[in-house]
Every structure is written in C-alpha cells, then in structure tokens.
Amino acid sequence: MKPIKGSIVALITPFHEDGSVNFEKMGELIEWHIANKTDAILVLGTTGESSTMTQEEDDHVVEFAIKVANKRVPIIVGAGSNSTQAMKERSIKYEKMGADQLLLISPYYNKANEKGMLHHFLTCADAVNIPIILYNVPGRTGCSISESVVAELSKHPNIIGIKEASGNIGYATNIARYVTEDFALYSGNDDMITTIMALGGSGVISVLADIAPEYTHNIVQAWLDGKPQESLKLQLDYLDVIHALFCEVNPIPVKEALNMMGKEVGGYRLPLYEMADANKAKLRAALEKVGLI
C-alpha cells in the first residue's frame, strides 16, 4: 500500500457513563466519517485514550473498527509502546486482525539513544508486512526521532511515513528531504496542515477531523488539487477552533466539543478530567463562530 493522501482522523474512543467503551457510538462515528470524506481512520492513537485502556479493550476496539469499516476506508492502528517487544507483539497481532497500517510511537519514559531508537522501529518493521507510520511527538514522549534515524528508517520498505507532531518547523523542514512516493510526511498538528503540505506533505493525522471531517479533508484536498490559497483560507478560518481544541490536554476539549455538538461521546478516564468552565466557554464560542453548534 502506498502512503495515504488526505485527512486521517485520530478517532476518539466514546465511553458510556460507567466508563466502558461505547461501541454503538463508535460505529456511528465511523459511519459519519466515511460519509464525510475522511480518508482513513486511526484508532488507539493519543486521541483514542488507549493509554488508559486495557489490552483487551484495545483489541476489541481494533476488531470492531476493522469490521465496521469493512475496507471502505483504511484502518490504521496505534500499536506503539515504550517496550519494543510489546510493540512488536501488538503489531503482529493487529496485522493478523486485519489492520491496514500501523502507527508506531517513539519510546516514552525510558527514551532511547540513537541506536536504540533505530532498532525500536526496525524490530517491528521487520516483523510485519503492512505499512508503518512513525510517530514523532516529543511533547508526549520526552524524546524526538532524530533526523539521521528518520533518514535511515525511510529506506525500509515497510516504513511509509512519519506523523510529525513536534511543532518545530525547522525539524519538519529537515526531514522533508526524505519524502518520496514511498515515504510520506503527515502533519500531526492541525494548525500546521498547510505548512506541512508546502513541504511536500501528504496530509494530516487530525484531531480537528473528529468534529469537522469534511472540512479537514477539504483543507488537504484543496492543496493536492493545486489550490494553495483556498487551502490556506480554510486553515486560517478554523484557527480559533483548532486553538480551542488544544486549550487543555487532548482529547479533553475534542470530546467536550463533540458533546456540545450533540454526539454524546461521553467523558474520559482519569487522569483526564473535566474542562475548566472558562475553557468550555472559549471552546463553545469558537464552535459557534464557525456554525458547528
């Protein structure tokens, strides 16, 4: 599979009041995304709260998403871990379950040196036969995938891209040198979609797409269609919404936004907690401004 071009939603995981996964609601969200031009769906990402879910819950979410999507859109699964062996085992399992691609994060907490970082990813890439997207998000992990490691990993036939979520345009520019038809660059920040597209990016792995799927698709598609000014206008018109979605730690605001929109996706698991009233008001105002509520 070649790298996907477009808007990949980092799907939230809806919960019932008792905190259990609401699979009926998840099915509704997947159908909504398919109907509204989302180009691929990522489950078990940061936005999906997999860090507070059990392995059994993770497996059920993956199985359910693959079944509902039924090959209508690719399903990408976050299989990362700070344990390379655990990440390898999860990667093999999700490939067998039918995942189309995997998203693998750099090791967090224990971090790694250059060789450790390289082999963290190579171990998994050598163990599976489906495409892998690297995930660079030093704000979450406390470490970055160095440019030299990206350069080496980009040569592996199973590694087809990187989600760049550092917010560092200098770093993004440096790794853009390794973009080819077989290795894609994705924005991991919704306020930098057009910036990354200008560097040869293929799209975005998006939180904004959770609440505005077709709009986010259109930001990317306009650029791909050779309409950069149209793409930029779409990006800037939603900038206040994007900022509001990150006024507290993700995915608290995006879940609150979906609830304000009447999607009834439930709450979150500790240590995530309800938004401050002032931030709720800011979020509501931003959503009202663009007509989402």
Residue 164 lies in a domain: yes
pLDDT tens by residue, 209-261: 999 999 999 999 999 999 999 999 999 999 999 999 999 999 999 999 999 99
Q: pLDDT class for 161, splitting at 50, 70, 90?
A: very high
The token duo for 229 is 């000014």
Residue 252 lies in a domain: no
Which of 203 and 142 is assigned the larger pLDDT? 203
User: What would the 3-class secondary structure string for the chain be?
Assistant: CCCCCEEEEECCCCECCCCCECHHHHHHHHHHHHHCCCCEEEECCHHHCHHHCCHHHHHHHHHHHHHHHCCCCCEEEECCCCCHHHHHHHHHHHHHHCCCEEEEECCCCCCCCHHHHHHHHHHHHCCCCCCEEEEECHHHHCCCCCHHHHHHHCCCCCEEEEEECCCCHHHHHHHHHHCECCEEEEECCHHHHHHHHHCCCCEEEECHHHCCHHHHHHHHHHHHCCCHHHHHHHHHHCHHHHHHHCCCCCCHHHHHHHHHCCCCCCCCCCCCCCCCHHHHHHHHHHHHHCCCC
pLDDT of residue 139: 86
pLDDT of residue 125: 97
Residue 219 lies in a domain: yes
Residue 97 lies in a domain: yes
**Annotated catalytic sites, by residue?**
135, 163
Residue 237 lies in a domain: no
Residue 235 lies in a domain: no
Residue 192 lies in a domain: yes
Residue 161 lies in a domain: yes
pLDDT of residue 141: 86
Residue 186 phi/psi, 5° resolution? -115, 140
pLDDT greater than 80 at residue 1 = no
As for how many domains the chain has, the answer is 1
Which of 46-55, 74-83, 134-143, 277-286 has the least mean pLDDT? 134-143
Domain extent, residue 47, equals 6-227
Q: pLDDT class for 2, splitting at 50, 70, 90?
A: confident
pLDDT tens by residue, 23-64: 999 999 999 999 999 999 999 999 999 999 999 999 999 999
Q: pLDDT class for 138, splitting at 50, 70, 90?
A: confident
CATH number at residue 132: 3.20.20.70
Average pLDDT over residues 158-177: 96
pLDDT greater than 90 at residue 66 = yes
